Amino acid sequence: MTVFNLGSINADHFYRLPHLPAPGETLAAQDYAIGLGGKGANQSVALARAGAEVRHVGAIGEDGRWMADRMTAAGVDCRHVAELPGASGHAIIEVETSGENLIIVYPGANRAISPGQALFALNTARAGDWLVMQNETSAQVEAAQAARAAGMTVVYSAAPFDAGSVRAVIDHISLLIVNEIEAAQLCADFGVTLQELPVARLVVTLGARGATWYDLAAGTQVSAPAFHVTPVDTTGAGDTFAGYLVAGLAEGLPPAEAMRLASAAAALKVTRAGTADAIPARAEVEAFLKAQPSE
């Protein structure tokens, strides 16, 4: 079983600061680093490190070849990553001492992915495969329609949040992943309660309070508490959670086990600086889980 990921690829520029700047304030950074990021690349690396077979569908500029190489080294199949004219996507990430962050993203090549490129990649998919998407690329609607028609499971991380983008694909989504703020915004846009959203399955992440799985068709839910750790950098924690969650579900884990696995992976991620490069391997996550007190 293969997981296809139509997702962004960004160069992440990290600036560590004593605190996040106020309007008009100038701060001297305490540290600087550059790494692989983008919600799509993060999730693909998380999927691969969780043990899934993942093919990334995306785009870079000529300046981004090192990012595709790094994804390949992490175990991601990048045969469907196109090199396009112009700049790659990049992000300016400011991280304060507590681990909280502020992020500015330039989409670059991520918004130049053509429907034809996405559909060509999905032509190799089979019924039972998975498609993962986030709201940082073009060609989402076309890919979601094609994937659902092919019998794939479609997972959508609705971030950066835009209600119109969710509406455009929601009829084709098998699993929607949002944080609690995005969930409230989506319910307000649709004019419904959480349980009335028109999607079969929903995961709402709650930060330090964990996450909840809702099977809206069956009317059931599963909660996964967060693990207590000392955060260093929260950047990419949600992507780590999403990638590990999908990997667990794709290998047949029930939702409760897949959520626990994903929560553990996200907990380990926030103890490390960086994004994709800081995502833990499956063996590290399983060792972390074994070390937890028995319930």
**In the structure encoding, which two tokens stand for residue 225, read together?**
């508490």
* pLDDT for res 97: 83
Instruction: State the Cα–Cα distance between residues 157 and 241, nearest whole angstrom.
Output: 11
Give me the residue label for tokens 């599963």: 222
Q: According to the annotation, is 42 in a ligand binding site? A: yes
**In the structure encoding, which two tokens stand for residue 163, read together?**
């209600």
* pLDDT for res 246: 98
Q: According to the annotation, is 136 in a ligand binding site? A: yes
* pLDDT for res 100: 84
pTM: predicted TM-score of the whole model, two decimal places: 0.93
How many C-beta atoms surround the C-beta of residue 286 within 10 A?
Answer: 14
Question: What is the dihedral sign for C-alpha 56, 61, 64, 65?
Answer: positive
Q: According to the annotation, is 233 in a ligand binding site? A: yes
Burial class (CB in 10 A: 0-12, 13-18, 19+), 59: buried
DSSP code string of 129-156 = -EEEEETTSS-HHHHHHHHHHTT-EEEE
Instruction: State the Cα–Cα distance between residues 175 and 203, nearest whole angstrom.
Output: 7
* pLDDT for res 138: 97
Q: What DSSP character marks residue 86?
A: S
- Per-residue confidence band for 295, with pLDDT thresholds at 50, 70 and 90: low
**Of the candidates 255, 254, 251, 282, the residue with the CA atom closest to the CA atom of residue 1:** 251
Lowest mean pLDDT across 147-151, 207-211, 261-265: 207-211
Burial class (CB in 10 A: 0-12, 13-18, 19+), 180: middle
Q: According to the annotation, is 129 in a ligand binding site? A: no
pLDDT at 130 over 80: yes
pLDDT at 294 over 80: no
Query: pLDDT tens, 274-286?
Result: 889 999 999 999 9
CA-to-CA separations, 194 to 16, 95, 133, 182, 188, in angstroms, rounded: 37, 32, 21, 11, 10
- Structural domain boundaries in the chain: 2-9+38-89+108-291
pLDDT at 71 over 60: yes
Q: What share of the chain is helix, strand, coil (3-state, %, to 5)?
A: 40, 25, 35
The mean pLDDT value of the chain amounts to 95
Query: pLDDT tens, 102-129?
Result: 889 899 999 999 999 999 999 999 999 9
pLDDT at 146 over 90: yes
Question: What is the dihedral sign for C-alpha 14, 17, 23, 26?
Answer: negative
Annotated active-site positions, please? 239
Query: pLDDT tens, 167-203?
Result: 999 999 999 999 999 999 999 999 999 999 999 999 9
Q: Rounding to the nearest 10 degrees, give the CA dihedral for residues 46, 288, 254, 249.
A: 10
Q: Which numeric CATH code is attached to 2-9+38-89+108-291?
A: 3.40.1190.20
- Per-residue confidence band for 86, with pLDDT thresholds at 50, 70 and 90: very high
Q: According to the annotation, is 143 in a ligand binding site? A: no
